């Protein structure tokens, strides 16, 4: 069966003239973030943090434990206020990590953070990446 389509696509008006001459505005970071551990149709991640823990920007806060799950990372640095159910667009509460943003965007100290990913030995590649079908060696 042929899929119905529109000839040349749909082109609604863009109204760019409303903001075309306005300068960019930067939003202030939120004081508190709510990071759901359920990120897609699969299983939710299991929390790796507890109330009161300090977290860093980019730190893994939820671990994928089964095939259809996703690891979850913090988008801010700060203190974990709660790990509890919170309303979610899925229509039901899901386990969520609530973090008070310290506004500092602190990263965890890691000397390999900016290392060439191809410089790692096979043993140094995290186990969570070994199931991927990506090359682990530089192809020349």
Mean pLDDT of the region 83-111: 89
Q: What percent of the chain has pLDDT over 70?
A: 79
Q: Which residue has the higher pLDDT, 33 or 135?
A: 33
Distance of alpha carbon 99 from alpha carbon 49, whole angstroms:
11
Select from 3.40.50, 2.40.50, 1.10.3470, 2.130.10 the CATH code of 27-107.
2.40.50
> Are the C-beta atoms of residues 37 and 44 closer than 8 Å to each other?
yes
pTM greater than 0.75: no
Mean pLDDT of the region 89-96: 90
What's the start-to-end Cα distance of the chain, in Å? Answer: 45
The count of C-alpha atoms lying within 13 angstroms of the C-alpha of 87, restricted to the half-sphere facing its C-beta, is: 1
* pLDDT 10s digits, 24-57: 988 888 999 999 999 888 889 999 999 999 999 9
Q: What was the pLDDT predicted at 40?
A: 83
Question: Which tokens go with 16?
Answer: 């760019």
Q: What was the pLDDT predicted at 128?
A: 47
pLDDT score of 140 more than 50? no
Pairing of strands 46-47, 72-73: unpaired
DSSP letters spanning the chain: -PPP--TT-------GGGTTTSPP-PPPPPSEEEEES--SSSBPPEE---TT-EE-TT-EEEE--SSSB--EE-SS-EEEEEEEEE--TTSS-EEEEEEEE-SS-PPPP-TTTTS-GGGS-GGGS-GGGTTS-S--S---
Distance of alpha carbon 17 from alpha carbon 30, whole angstroms:
29
pLDDT, the chain, mean: 83
């Amino acid at each position: 069966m042929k899929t119905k389509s529109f000839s040349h696509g749909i082109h609604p008006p863009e109204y760019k003239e409303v903001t075309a001459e306005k300068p960019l505005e930067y939003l202030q970071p939120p004081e508190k973030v709510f990071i759901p551990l359920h990120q897609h149709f699969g299983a939710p991640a299991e929390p790796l943090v507890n109330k009161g823990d300090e977290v860093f920007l980019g730190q893994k806060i939820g671990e994928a434990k089964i095939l259809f799950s996703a690891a979850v990372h913090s988008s801010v640095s700060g203190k974990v206020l709660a790990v509890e159910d919170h309303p979610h667009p899925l229509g039901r509460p899901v386990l969520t990590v609530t973090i008070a943003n310290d506004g500092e965007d602190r990263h965890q100290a890691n000397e390999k953070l900016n290392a060439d990913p191809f410089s790692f030995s096979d043993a140094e590649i995290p186990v969570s990446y070994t199931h991927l079908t990506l090359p682990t060696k530089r192809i020349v």
